Structure 1
Amino acid sequence: MPESELGGPEEKSYTAPGKVPLDSGWVDVPRLSLSASAGPGAFGGEERPFDNFRFSQRWLREQGLDGSHLSAITVEGDSMEPLLRAGDEVLVDHSPQPFRDGIHVVRLEDTLLVKRVAAQGGGRYSLLSQNLAYPPLEVNAQDIEIVGRVVWKSGRL
């Protein structure tokens, strides 16, 4: 615990490596040991953090995001190329909100996918790939779980 939280001077305060003081202006977003397939599908695995991305609270607020509803996972496969490539990490917003078309992580049976999801009406969705070599997949709403909306990506150039 930093000494300043106990009333001591800031210059004598200690913050353990990897810990961010509550008033630092930064939010640690967990990187989960999960992959979402941009292709035929990836098995979910465990939702266990192995590291963090650190974002500015101000930047998150400007983006309309709440750090407590975010996590990062890795993209596998090539069906979302060139938008998302294998090895990219995406920030997934899990906050409860009305559905709107966009890039989402979805669970279809035991498989995690990252796809452009478009509502078709009548309780149906289209799961679309950026890579035109992959055909659209039509699914009933009760057959998928929308895990969250992809709001940011990182990756190598």
Structure 2
Amino acid sequence: MDNDHSASGALSGAVPVVAYHPEEPLDDGEIEIPALNVAVGAGNRIHTEPVEEERRFRYSLEWVRRYGLKADKLIRYKVRGSSMDPFISDGSWITVEMGTTQVTDGSVYLLRYGDQISVKFLFRRYDGGLIVRSFNPSEPDVVVPAQDLEHIKVLGRVVESTNMLIKAIK
């Protein structure tokens, strides 16, 4: 069993890593999720900004089905800022199911608030408003009363993050 994909093989580093090139066709059961050329904020007063890398991420269609996601609504974004640290770190990628805007308390959403696009936890208030919460405890909650909801737009629900545990060297 030297060439298997068992846990012991993975722990020993014996599982082969296969590189692919973006121009290669997708395998059966694979989809590509676009990564938009913008970074979204996980901090105070961070606006969208260009990201130099333009990418597509390959996913298993089985993964999409398992979680009941809509493949054509999934988009990846780069995160900038520390308000969601360490849950979602600066430089991480998030996968957002765009158009999923029904707020479930404690879920993470991509939202537009004024001219900012941010990644935050959302909670419903008893009066119909929202609480916008960062993971980082040094960031205060933002309370959005029901009469001010016109200033906030939920763009989609964050369904996955790829959290960077190291800093880029370039």
Give the shorter-chain TM-score range: 0.7 to 0.9
Deviation of the 1:117 alpha carbon: 0.8
Instruction: State the 4+ residue runs in structure 1 displaced beyond 6 angstroms.
Output: none
- Aligned residue for 1:112? 117
Decide which structure has greater strand share. 1
1:143 to 127, 145, 151: 151
2:83 and 2:164 map into 1 onto residues whose CA distance is 17
Tell me the residue number matched to 1:124.
Answer: 129
Alignment RMSD = 2.2
In 2, Cα distance between the equivalents of 1:120 and 1:155?
29
Cα deviation for residue 95 of structure 1 reads 3.7
Percent identity among equivalent residues? 27
Aligned counterpart, 1:92: 96
Contact persistence 2:101–2:154 (CA under 8 A): no
Structure 2 segments unaligned to the other structure (5+ residues): 1-20, 166-170
Give the drift of 1:60. Answer: 0.8
Alpha-carbon distance, 1:50 to partner: 2.2
| TM-score, structure 2 as length reference | 0.74
Residue 17 of structure 1, CA deviation: 4.9
Alignment-derived partner of residue 134 in structure 1: 139
- In structure 2, how many angstroms separate the alpha carbons of the residues matched to 1:52 and 1:121? 40
Residue 15 of structure 2 corresponds to which residue in structure 1?
none
CA contact (8 A) 2:35 2:57 kept: yes
C-alpha displacement of 1:99: 2.4
Aligned length: 140
Partner residue in 2 for 1:103:
108
What does residue 18 of structure 2 align with?
Answer: none
- 1:138 CA drift (Å): 1.1
After superposition, the C-alpha distances for 1:4-41 in whole angstroms (9 at most, x for unaligned) are xxxxxxxxxxxx952535x7211110001122211113
Q: Residue deviations 1:84-133, cap 9 Å, x none? A: 10000000011446321211010011110111011113331111011110
Aligned position for 2:10: none
One of 53, 63, 80 as aligned partner of 2:57:
53
Amino acid at match of 1:155: N
* Structure 1: gaps of 5 or more residues: 1-15
